[in-house]
Structures are given as C-alpha cells and as structure tokens.
Structure 1
C-alpha cells in the first residue's frame, strides 16, 4: 500500500499536515450544470479540420463534453487514486511572497541513505503527471527498501498549492526559492536532486544555480539560451534532424498561446476560467498536440487534469510561466549550471529537443543523456517506466555528490 510511505523524516523542521483531495458534492453538481449549459460554437471552416493544425476540432470538443457529462468519466475515481498516495500540505515562509501553502504527494523512505528527489511539473500539467511513477515505485519497493525520498509538489499557484499571501507577483525566482525551501523544511538541507519538465525544468535550473542544497538536476526539456550556439546540422543523425525539424515547425506554428500568456495574462486568465468547456479546449489542445500521436494521452486522463484545473482555479493563477516568454522575446538568458551534474531525457515528440552532440559540446557537466523512441512533452505521464529508469540511472551516477 502506497499509504505506508507516509512516515516523515525524523529531522524535519517544517510542519506538514496530511491532506485528502475531496471536491464537495455541491461543487460537482454546480460544475455539471455549468458544463451542460456551456455551448459549443457553430461549425466553421476551421473547426471542422481534425488534423490539429488549426487547434482542437469541434468534433473532438463535442465528444469530450459528452464523455465528461456521462458516467464514463468519474472524478471520484481520480480522487481515490490521488488519495492512495500520501499527500500533505505545508506552509512555506518566503521573504517576499509571505506564507505560501504548498501541497505535495510523497513516498518517504525509512532508509538512512535514501536520496531526496523533487519532481516539478509544468504547464498545463500538475502533480498528477507523476502519480503513475509513484505507483511503480510503491509496487517495487517497501518503505524499508525505497532508495529515495520522492517529493512531488503542486507548484506555487498550481492545483492544490496556494500563492503569495503578500501582494506580489509570483515569479520564477520566487517559485524556485519556495521549492528549495520546501526541501529544506522537509529535512533535506544536506542535499537533494531536482527533476523537472516544461516550467519545472526552468525552475530546477534556477535551483541548481542559486541553492547549494540542490546538488544535481535532471530535465526532460532542455532549452538553449539565446547566447548558446549549437553546432552544425551536419553533425546530427537523420533521426535527430527529424526531431529538430518537428521542433522548428512547432516554434513557427504553435507558439501563439505563449505570446498571449506572456503579454495578456489577465485577459486570457479571465476568458478561459469563465467556462469548463473553454478550459478544456485551451489546455486539452496541448495534451493532444504535445504528446506522441502514436500513443495519445487517454481522454479520461485529459478530463481529469482539466477537472483538477477547474476546481482549483489553476489556470488564471498559474500564468507566471509567461515570464519565460518575456525573457525569450527580450533575448534574456535563463540560468543553468555548467558545474553541477546534469541529466537529460529526450522524448522525440517534445516541443524543444537538444541533440546529443550539441548538448555534450555546450554542457561539460552533462553526465546522463537518454533518447527515447516514443513519448512527448509529458514524459512522466506518457512513459512513466522509461522516465523513471532515466532518473534512477542519473541518480546512481550522481549520488556521490550527496554523500
């Protein structure tokens, strides 16, 4: 039973409380009524296209709405699955943001030499992306044999975590500082490993640069800075050229959402949070487009992720990833360590990929590089077994820096 992994470390300085996810029946009823009354726009030339090239189709949204309203989708099943793992909430004190209530799921080990690992999700994801990985670990190990302390938070202002209690904007630096403080408050000040994808990858990059306790970092999205020039395309294999071509096409055709988030976060936050159907169209598109089309994310999973966003008002709160867009437009580099050990997992249908020859040339601290045959932007969700194997291999290589 995964719940048996709930014993907190003895040297903990924070004060986490057990947490159970439960949406009240009244809120579920209101949601169902609102969804039922949400209209689907009329047929247009664009929304009859089912290729995804111009966004979600009217056909997909209609079918998804019907499933969402039917007995085929059961939110309580997803609550039960989430609650089958230890969940906690803990107040984190930040010098600028004030008190921030942070939610995290976890598997705590009883081994004295267990290595702490924090896993950070991105947009439009959540901690739910890592639950299949937690399930694998809980089945493979016992609390007495688990080699790691596995910490899976909801990022600040995402899902079950709160935001700043002070009237300040949540920024990347503040979010990274809060995530580092979470690990310190859990008793892991002597050292931990940080893993992240999408926004999470950017946060762990900051954590590795700014905080001594973050001893090594692993990412499944590795974005170059404007001042980092890759090598020649001639160095790449045919497979890598295909990956780069797909990534380049996405940057030309799929970046509009980020410009909207980055320049008009208030408008888009208010518009998308006005209807669960609007939310589904906006973030469901990303789950469809950013995953490996050969192994699509099940509709039930997409609906669960969207339902979590709806009941926690995540979307309008969590647009601070827009800061990344502003930095890209301004040509501002994002921090990344070239000293601390770095690991990278490349899933072929991710939005941005970095071929091995270029990664090795740019990052002398790259100690683990794995390329996969399948999977996309949501690596932990799409391919949890392969994702976990990569992280375990990386941790095995870098555990010396934590001793």
Structure 2
C-alpha cells in the first residue's frame, strides 16, 4: 500500500454548479405546514428563503478558495482516498491535533478555529498553545471516498486516523471530536495507538448501567434528555441507521431535500434561540450543505449510522481525557457517569453558551476549552 500524501486542489466543474441552479429553479414545493412553528419540520417560508439565497446570492467559489487556502490533501488508506486539511503552525513546538467532525457537519465546522488554534499569537493568544491541525473528512463525507463495501464503522475509521497521523510523521498527538467525531475519537482512545497522548470531547454519549433510584436534578435532566432524544429527536438517526439507501435517493436527487435535512438540525441542535440565522450566516450553512450536495453524499453519510449506531456507548478509556459540556448539547451526562468508564479525566467544564456544533457556533469558547485541556499534556 502506497503511503503517498498528495496535494488536493478543489475545482468543481461549472457544469455541476449549473446543474444545481437548474434543480433549484425546478423545485417542486409541498404545501405549507399546518402549525406555526418548527414542530413538523422546517417551515416552508424559512427553507424558501435559504434556497433563494442559495440560488441568487451564494458563491461556491468563495468557499472553494477558502478550503484550497487551508491546504488540502488526500492519501489512500485501507482502500479509500481520505481527504484532509493539514495546517502547520508557525510555532515549531506546536502540538499536533486531530479534529474529527460529525453529521450533519464537515470540515467546514472548524473553519473559524483554524487560525486561533494554529497561530494563537496572531489571534491574541499565547504561542505556547499552538497546534498543528489535521482535519479529515470521514469516509463517505466531504471529498473522502465513499466506501463500496460494508465494514467502515468508527473502529475502522479510528485505525485509519492513526495511520494518517503516522504518515504525517506525528509521533505524539492529541485528538478531539463531537457527534460522530466523538465516536471515532472514543474508539481511538480505546485502541490507544502509539503516539496518542490524550482525547477531548464536546459530546459524550454515555449512560450508567443503572440509574439512581433518587436522581439529583442534574442526573434527572440528563435522563430526560436521553428520553427525549430516544422518543422524539432520534427519528432521523433511526431512518439513517435502518434505511440509508432509501433516504439517499431523495438527498442525492434534490438539493432542497439535502438542505432541509441539514438545516433542521442546525436549528434544532444549536444554541440559537430557535433561529439558526442568529448563530450561523446563510453562507456558512450553505458551505456545509454543499459538502454533502456536490459529492452526492446523502446515502454514504447516512450509512455510517447503519454501520455504527451501536458504537455510541460507554467504552473504557485510560488515556488522559477532557470534556466540555455546552449547554444546548443533545445530552449532558453528569461527571460521575463519566468517572465509571474514564479513569483519567484531566478536564471537565460546563459552559454558559453553545450547542452541538461547538466549534462552528462558539469558536472562542471552543478554542479556550481545547487549549485548557491539552495544555496539561504539553
């Protein structure tokens, strides 16, 4: 197997962008919802406003230039070309940091934190906190290859990430993740490959074997959040975990379907007071959506749920571990739940603002958490 790492320049054919415009113009819209809120899904007027911006004001070439400016690469690991950003810090003693996104995210989630993490001195920080950044696209996401066989679950992805870090020549590094990035980073922590010094999460999907007979307020809130997700919020996950191919046809054929599928989660899981535009610009949301639409990743991204939904479970990790609880995260496990499976918690903090897309929503807070956690391992 070749270890070659190849520079990658993103250059989407104009024909693809023209096709998108045609599809947006030919959208067949449903009737409006019968309620006055988001309880039936994305309200038609909100989606039409986003699509109008997409059709008449959005500039993909700007996003393309931004990604190319960061430095993009591909390398073939275990039969798949893996796409990743690699940003070298100007600080020679910077710590290598592996950042993994989730669904419905992409490497776009991290674009606001790349500068402060890699070059803190240029952003009012301490040069001693600098990181070299490696930000891969999950298999079947972004511009990584789509698996053509089953078996690409989070454990296999974690092994691929360890190989990616080895190829980049990093013999000591740390890893961070939320959503599927949390599951992959969790698996990395369990595997503990040579060189991995510690892990940090902004989402932990953990629960004890048995709940307390008399839970305190924090534990009861965590139980309630788990129940709500399981009974209400997880419908999308159940569909993607059981019938990813079926939903994939709609997402591959209709840009409006793909946009709605993601837009609803950007609203529902972020700390935005019910209005996604309070926290994200339309361009930012569409940049992320485009990393699903252009490569046609509706089915392949959903398929990770089919492969690994059961991997969101407590797993014992003995490496140094940090966690940052953002208040609008899907779940909020009490620390004593975590202490049952993690033996070396070095950082645990509950923040006042932010949700599921921590780096995307609250870049300053996210950067502070990552710095505070991994400062202990330098």
The alignment's TM-score, normalised by the length of structure 2, stands at: 0.89
CA contact (8 A) 1:209 1:335 kept: no
* Structure 1 unaligned blocks of 5 or more: 1-12
Q: Does 1:392 align with 2:371?
A: yes
205-214 vs 374-383, which moves further: 205-214
Q: What RMSD over aligned residues (CA atoms) do the two structures have, in Å?
A: 2.5
CA shift, 1:14, in A, is: 3.8
- Cα 1:120–1:357 change in 2 (3 A) is same
Partner residue, 1:23: 12
Supply the distance in 1 between the matched residues of 2:298 and 2:322 (Cα, whole angstroms): 30
Unaligned runs of 5+ in 2: none
Inter-partner Cα distance in structure 2 for 1:232 and 1:133:
42
Q: 1:296 to 1:145 in 2, by over 3 A?
A: closer
Are 2:237 and 1:258 aligned?
A: yes
Query: Matches of residues 106-145 of structure 1 in structure 2 within 5 Å?
Result: 106-109=86-89, 111=91, 113-137=93-117, 140-141=120-121
Contact 2:316 2:341 in 1 (8 A): no
- Of 9, 23, 29, which aligns to 1:34? 23
Taking structure 1 as the reference length, what is the TM-score of the superposition?
A: 0.84
1:6 alignment counterpart: none
* Aligned twin of 1:55: 41
In structure 2, relative to structure 1, the CA distance for the partners of 1:48 and 1:59 (3 Å cut) is farther
Whether 2:195 is the aligned partner of 1:216: answer no
Partner Cα distance (2:182, 2:59) in 1 = 31
Closer, same or farther in 2 for the Cα pair 1:108/1:230, shift >3 Å? Answer: farther
1:1-400 alignment to 2 at 5 Å?
A: 14-43=3-32, 47-71=33-57, 73-92=58-77, 94=78, 98=79, 100-109=80-89, 111=91, 113-137=93-117, 140-141=120-121, 147-164=130-147, 167-188=149-170, 190-213=171-194, 214-225=196-207, 228-229=209-210, 231=212, 234-236=215-217, 245-246=224-225, 248-294=227-273, 295-323=278-306, 326-327=309-310, 334=313, 336-360=315-339, 362-399=341-378
Partner of 1:10: none
Matched residue SS, 2:264: helix
Say how many residue pairs are matched. 368
Q: Distance in 1 between matches of 2:285 and 2:298?
A: 15
Report the 3-state secondary structure (helix = DSSP H, G, I; strand = E; otherwise coil) of the residue aligned with 2:40. Answer: coil
Retained in 1: the 8 A contact 2:199–2:322? yes
CA contact (8 A) 1:346 1:372 kept: yes
